[in-house]
Every structure is written in structure tokens, then in C-alpha cells.
Structure 1
Amino acid sequence: MRPHGIEPTIDSASAVAARCRPESPVDLTGPRVGFVTGTRPHFSGETAGLLRARLTAVALILMVALTLAFVDNLFADYAPLVGVRAVILCIFVVGFLILRSRRSLSLRQLRWFEATLFGALVVQLLLMMGTRIVGFARAGDTVSLVAAEHTYMAAWSILILTYGTLMPNTWQRALAVLLPTACVPQVLLLWLRSQVPGVAAAFAMDQMNSYIPGSLVAVLVAVFGTYTINAIRQEAFRAKQWGQYVLKTKLGAGGMGEVYQAEHQLLKRACAIKIIKRDKSTDAEALARFEREVQATAGLTHWNTVEIYDYGHTDDGTFYYVMELLPGMSLEELVQRYGPLPPERAVYLLRQTCWALREAHAKGLIHRDVKPAKSLPVNGAECTT
């Protein structure tokens, strides 16, 4: 049923989806099934939970690694940047304790933690790399200088791949973060070549140098990995995001959306879900019309009218509503398979359709798209519209 003046949107595919009705009349004064609201998970919430878990794991691993390296360097003959490394270690300890606490953190706050932890690691790698190369250059140790450059660039690539693999992101955000990160050591090396004597000559003797920096290759791999992982995450989340309902099989599709057989996660009740994706043809005004349509249809109580259970919106603007699942064929399919109905049988079914329409008309609603494809005889007796 539709409010007057609204274009029909439920196609024959959704009619096929709506199927199952008791033979005996139901009590019209009984309560309708209420809408369940506020329980649908959001993708941003799922991302926040995953990001917090990943940051906690990364903070713990790096905290242990930095602690061991810091203690080892305290007893070494040459231990540069002890103060800076101590500060960065404290940052990881504090970050780990906060992430492990029961304090509620928003996605925005978690992103700040992400930037702080990885930013601190970038600063340490950058300072250590510069300090080591300058020290070896002044000592005239060309072999150690080149080895240090390769070691730190490998560590830089590992950092980039770790971020791209573990941190939940869109590929655009990953690219925006990782590309500047990959350029930072290249800028440092260019500056060292021009400002520190012996560095340029040492790099010129390095036969393992490549015209394409390994860190940039790592960025491409990490961004592609982020894109793939994020697509899989969204696909997996999409299967769970329709309120309390789990999608089963696709029943049909039309110009405005798709219809799926589904099941309520707690009640284990079979139902049909009509999904109307938001695009250029379904703007905010159109979605508002769909919502008013569903609300109006949910107010109908006649047993020959399909029952609406629930409706809602997803994060990406997709509108969906849940209706009862009716087994069997529509009148159109029935006639196509078995031929014209006997007159008395046709009248019997059409009267039930008219009863359902009468209730809608009494409430100021006009269907505007009554046809055999949207009328479903169920249990061999009653007809549902």
C-alpha cells in the first residue's frame, strides 16, 4: 500500500519475496510487531573496535622490542639518542596502558593514538638513520654507512607494510599517510648527500642502489593490501548490517533495489528484506518517501495485507525494510503456469484483495499499482496484496 501521490516502488520481485499467511483471520485489535531500533551496528563502530585492538597489539609488541633495544644500548659502547629513545618508549608505554584500559575512545581519538604511535616510531627511525649515517661518514666507514642505509630503509618498508596491513583504513587514507612517510627518508638521504662529506661518495659506490626506492614499492603493496582488506571487511560487514537480520538468498531485483530472504538473528524468524540503494535516482527526498510509505503500510492491519516488521538505514544511505515472507506463486505466475482461473475462484481471490484495499482507502492510502504480480494466494485459500 502507498500514500496517495507516491510512485509505486515495490516491484514484482518484492511481491515474490512476500509470502506466508494463516488461513484463519487474526485479531485486528492485537498489537502489531514493534520496530526494533538502535541496535544496528555501524561500520565506523566496527572499525573503531578493530583499530583499538590492532593498536593495542602493535603498542605491546613495539613496547617490548623498544625496551629490549633500549636496555641493550645502555650497556653498549655507542648509544646515541638515549634521551629521545627513552621518551618514545614512554609514549608507547602510556599509549598501551590507555588502550588497554576500559576508557571509551572514539574513532577520532583512536586515530590520534595511531598518529602518535606511528609518528613516534617514524621520528625514532629518522633520527637513528641520520645519526648512524653521519657517524659512519665521519669515521670514513663506507661499508657500515651503506649497510646502515639499507638496514634502515628495510625497516622503513616494514613499517609501511605493517601500517597498511594492520590498520583498518580506506585506500585513499592509507595512500595519504604512507606516501609522505615513504618520502621522508628519501628527503633525509638527499640532504645528507649534499651536506655531509663522504655520504654521496659512499652511495655512489653502492651497486645495490635502485632507481625505484623500496619504500615506494612498499607503499604500493600496502595501499593495495589496504584496499583488498577493506573491501573484504565491508563485504563481511554488509552481511551483518541489516539490523538484527542475516541475509540468506536473493529473491529478486528491480529498478529501485533488491529483495532477499533473511532471518532474524534472535527470533530465527524467516522474513524478506527489500534493499533500496541510494544513488542518483534515489536522493534524500526519494528515501524519505520510501520511509513514509513503509510507515503507512505498517499501520495496515488487515490479514490480506503484507505485514511490515522493521525498517532502517545503513551508514552509506541504503534504505531497507523488513516484511513477512510468503511462500508460493503470485496470481500472475499461477495463471501463466495453469491457465485462467475459474470465474468463481477469481472472484473469491479478488474480493480478498478488495478487502485489503478498502482498509487502505479508509486510511487515505492508494496503492496505484495493483496487479496480479503483487497478489499472492497462500495456503491455497487467501490472497495477500
Structure 2
Amino acid sequence: MKRIYVRTHGGNYPVLIGRNLLKSIGPLARQLRLGPKCFIVSDKKIAARYLSTVRRSLKKCGFDVSSYLLPYSDERNKSERVLSRLWREMAEASLERTSTVVALGGGVVGDLAGFAASTYMRGIPLVHVPTTLLAQVDSAIGGKTAIDLPSGKNTVGSFYQPKLVVSDIETLKTLGVSDLRNSFAEIIKCGMIRDARLFELLERDGASFFDAVKRGRFGKTETAFLETIVRRSAKIKAGIVHRDERETKGERMILNYGHTFGHAIEAASKFRMAHGSAVAIGMVLAARLACRRGLLSIEAQNRQRALIRQIGLPSSLRSEDYPLKLGLPVQWKKGGHSSGELLSFMKRDKKIRDGKMRFVLPRTIGRVEICSGISDREIKSVLSEG
């Protein structure tokens, strides 16, 4: 088991990465000296696989365990209606300020359960047990919680650090190829912003990993590969969060590489497009913008695009096979999407300051910078290429 510490003003906590950790949730929680009640939040799909294991481990250690299963297994859970229902369930379970919310699932479960924990009785302890690759490398670390509004994704939320993050690599073996692929967008992002060696590892072993998984082989080599990339990605995020917990210094913003474009694409598709697919296209667009501004070499731009394609992620809005499969409107096929529509969504981005959009643009593989003062015309030109 690997242990990475996240140190913030909101609290210090370990991120544990290893195999077969779900059976140890109880002893791990007991070490934190938490209160006697634990409230597990999950969805039906995840609960069918893991809830009994987690519940049993907690009960063996003397915890009084209750749970609530969210009505959906997707982004629809991050709504005012579902949040309100969750608050009521927490109250009916008689949770106290010393009670602990255990978020068992992917990023959606973590975002919603985290926000509920941060607001119930002005904040009660939270433990993340991420069961998806995307959550293990990104959303479970750093304290961001949120729900969506019709106007945009993650519009209402809080910064609220957990007491513990437990990432069991074994849970990733149940994920489909599509889920794994979409998660790799965030790992490619980590390589682009901070870790050239991680990027090179993905270039070297990424394709063979997916070849093995598609053939139904998930052996020691594949498990070790996942454990390595989860650890490296988690370490990158932990370091950035330590230095800039609430995005007040600018450094944490680099974690949004590809997301300004990506979130706009997600919103325009009414969240039918997978987050990872949108971020992959967003990184391609950001690299194109950086290349046009003379910040990034064509070679680096091409390497990023080649890796995205190699993993099997979309690299263009124009791709023949992608629009319908990814949930994009039909008119986006062959570049028929509206650059004006995407730009309007981009202008709702939370990184805007004084009415000006800010972009995370790559300088080389492993290094990015924050840029502003980019004109609407320049952005539309990048978007119009697809």
C-alpha cells in the first residue's frame, strides 16, 4: 500500500493506494478516531459490488452503519432535488456532528456526498472511497465538492477536505474499456501539466494496456501499470493542492488544463458526452491555441494528439465516428457545431476574472502556463477547426 499525504489549511489527510483495501475500511476509519456513526452514500450499481464489503468492515470495528443509494448512476445525481433528498436521509439517520459520510463510488457520488457532508450541520467528517479511475486520480483528492445547475456544471459547491481517501486498485478491474479510456484523459492531463515521465510512460505502455484489457486480460502487469499511474497522478494533484488549496494563487488552476474548452463541450452536449472525452478534445484545442500563439512546438502538439488517439479518445469535434457516439448534436458532425454556442458556454467558466477568460496553455510536455487576453475571434478560429 502506498501512502500520499495531502497537506492543506482545511486539514491534512492520507491518500491510500493499493489492492484489496475495501476490506480494511473499518480499521482505517477506526485509526482516525471518528464518531460511532457512518453513513455510506453510493449508487445502486456500485453498491451491488462493494457496499456489503464496506459495511461489514465498518461494523466489525464497532461502527453504527446506515446508507443511502442515489437514484441514478450518472451526472443527474448532482442536482438540487437529489441533494435535498440526501440531506433529509442524513437527518432521518440522526447523523451528528461527529458522524462520518463515506462516499463510495465515482466522481459524481464524491461530489454530491462531499457537498452534503460540507453543509450538513455546517460540516461533518468525510471519507472518500473512489471506485473509478477518474475519481482515484482526480476528483477524490483536493476537496472540491459541487452540484450542477441548468446554467452549468459544478456551479454550486464548496472546498471541503476529507479525513481519508482509500483508492483500491482492485475496483478498477470491473470498469469497462470506455470508462477506463475516459479516465485516461485526466492522467494525460497530469503528464502535460507536471510530469513528462508519466506522459512518456503512457506513450510507451498505454496502448498495450488497452489491448490486454480488450482481450479480457487484467493480470499483474496491467494492475501494476494502473497502480503506478494512479500514484503518480495523485502525487501531482496532492502537491498542487498543498500549494494552492482554493485556487487563490493560480497554481491549482493548471489542473483545469483542457477543461475550459471541455466543460463547454460537455454543457453544449447537455452532459451526454463523457467528461474524459470532452477534456481530451479540450486539450487538443488548448494545444492548438498554444501552438498558434507560439508557446508550444508543433512536435509537442502532435505528440499529445497522437497519445490521445492511441488511447482511443476523441481528438476532434469533426471526427466522423464521434458525434453521435459521444452524445453530440447531429449538426456537429463534420464541423457543423456552432463555435458561437461553445464560446457562450465558455464565458460562464468559473476561472473568468473581471470578465476575461483565462486559459491553461502548454509550453512543453510537463509544463503549462495561465494566459488571458485571448480574443473571441482567436477562440472561435480554434473552435472552427473542430
Please tell me the TM-score bracket, short chain as reference.
Answer: under 0.3
* Higher relative contact order structure (alpha carbons within 8 Å, sequence separation ≥ 6): 1
- State which structure, 1 or 2, has the greater radius of gyration over its C-alpha atoms: 1
TM normalised by structure 1 equals 0.20
